């Protein structure tokens, strides 16, 4: 078998998430169906992260095993052809050693969350951002975010249906910044860790948005973390502003 790493971009709105589910449309299902058109058999691909319903990706990474050797460019072109009209695209493809595993070889996942701050309804950004109408205090949000950096018990920011064995994770980065776009001011969250709990990023953002709006103080974030109680978490924000942006490996397979 020949193994290939795929860099995948997708719009999450039409899907129940990355993971294949019987009778439902998933990103994994779309890619595997395209692979079956190229090599007619059952395919089972692995990805760096299992994004939830409505969550997007700019740099999801998956690997597939093929019975015949393919030129990576031709394989990506064939997959993109067979995935039409689904909003999924292979943006890069490389042959890798069979020891490479998209999930287990990954060293860090980077997520981007976008909040659009404006009163007028979103048009071009609709479905791609979480829109709030009132300005947010970025300095207060960054102060609150600082409490979350490092190794902690993140029970407060973990979904009640999370299947991870432990709520203890190490958060490498949680930066909050503003970006001026033609559509208005956006608040961007750059969140990085080796792995995440279910709904962890959306729980962070929902809580920090409340800090930016003045409903919570930065110190309330620390109190919520220390509580180790899901009820201490702020509201979980909607999924449409969340993107799996990048996956880091010991050696980047996509650098030629």
Is pLDDT above 90 for 161?
Answer: no
List of residues 6+ apart from 52 with CB closer than 8 A: 17, 198, 199, 239
* Bridge partners, residue 31, by sequence: none
This prediction has a pTM of 0.96
Cα 184–chain centre separation:
23
Mean predicted confidence (pLDDT) in 229-248: 96
Helix and strand totals (H; E) in the chain: 5, 10
Number of residues that this document lists for the chain: 256
With a pLDDT cut of 90, the percent of the chain lying above it is 96
Which of the residues 52, 71, 172, 229 is marked catalytic? 52
The three-state secondary structure class of 46 is strand
Mean pLDDT calculated for residue range 227-255:
96
Instruction: Decide if 52 is catalytic.
Output: yes
End-to-end Cα distance, the chain: 22
Domains in the chain: ranges and CATH: 2-105 (3.30.70.580), 108-246 (3.30.70.660)
pLDDT at 201 over 90: yes
**Alpha helices (runs of H) in the chain, residue ranges in sequence order:** 27-38, 72-83, 138-146, 200-213, 218-227
Region 80-108 average pLDDT: 97
Confidence of residue 224 (pLDDT cuts 50, 70, 90): very high
Asked whether residue 103 carries a pLDDT value surpassing 90, the answer given is yes
Percentage of the chain modeled with pLDDT above 70: 100
| Other C-beta atoms lying within 10 Å of the C-beta of residue 207 | 27
Task: Please name the residue ranges forming H helices in 93-217.
Answer: 138-146, 200-213
Mean pLDDT of 38-46: 96
Contact 189, 208 (CB under 8 A): yes
Structure token pair of residue 92: 């890069």
């Amino acid at each position: 078998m020949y193994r290939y790493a795929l860099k995948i971009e997708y719009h999450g709105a039409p899907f129940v998430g990355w993971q294949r589910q019987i009778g439902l449309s998933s990103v994994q299902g779309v890619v595997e169906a395209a692979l079956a058109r190229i090599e007619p058999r059952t395919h089972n691909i692995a990805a760096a992260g299992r994004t939830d319903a409505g969550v997007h990706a700019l740099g999801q990474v998956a690997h597939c095993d093929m019975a015949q050797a393919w030129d990576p460019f031709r394989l990506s072109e064939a997959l993109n052809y067979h995935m039409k009209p689904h909003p999924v695209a292979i943006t890069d493809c490389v042959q890798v050693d069979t020891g490479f595993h998209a999930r287990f070889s990954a060293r860090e996942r980077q997520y981007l969350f976008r909040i659009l701050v404006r009163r007028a309804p979103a048009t071009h950004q609709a479905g791609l951002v979480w829109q709030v109408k009132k300005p947010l205090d970025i300095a207060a949000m960054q102060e609150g975010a600082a409490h979350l950096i490092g190794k902690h018990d993140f029970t407060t920011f973990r979904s009640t249906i999370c299947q991870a064995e432990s709520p203890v994770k190490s958060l490498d980065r949680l930066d909050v910044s503003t970006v001026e776009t033609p559509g208005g001011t956006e608040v961007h969250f750059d969140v990085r860790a080796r792995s995440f709990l279910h709904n962890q990023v959306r729980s962070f953002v929902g809580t920090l948005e409340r800090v930016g709006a003045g409903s919570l103080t930065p110190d309330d974030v620390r109190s919520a973390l220390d509580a180790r109680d899901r009820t201490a978490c702020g509201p979980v924000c909607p999924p449409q502003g969340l993107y799996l942006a990048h996956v880091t490996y010991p050696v980047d397979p996509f650098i030629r």
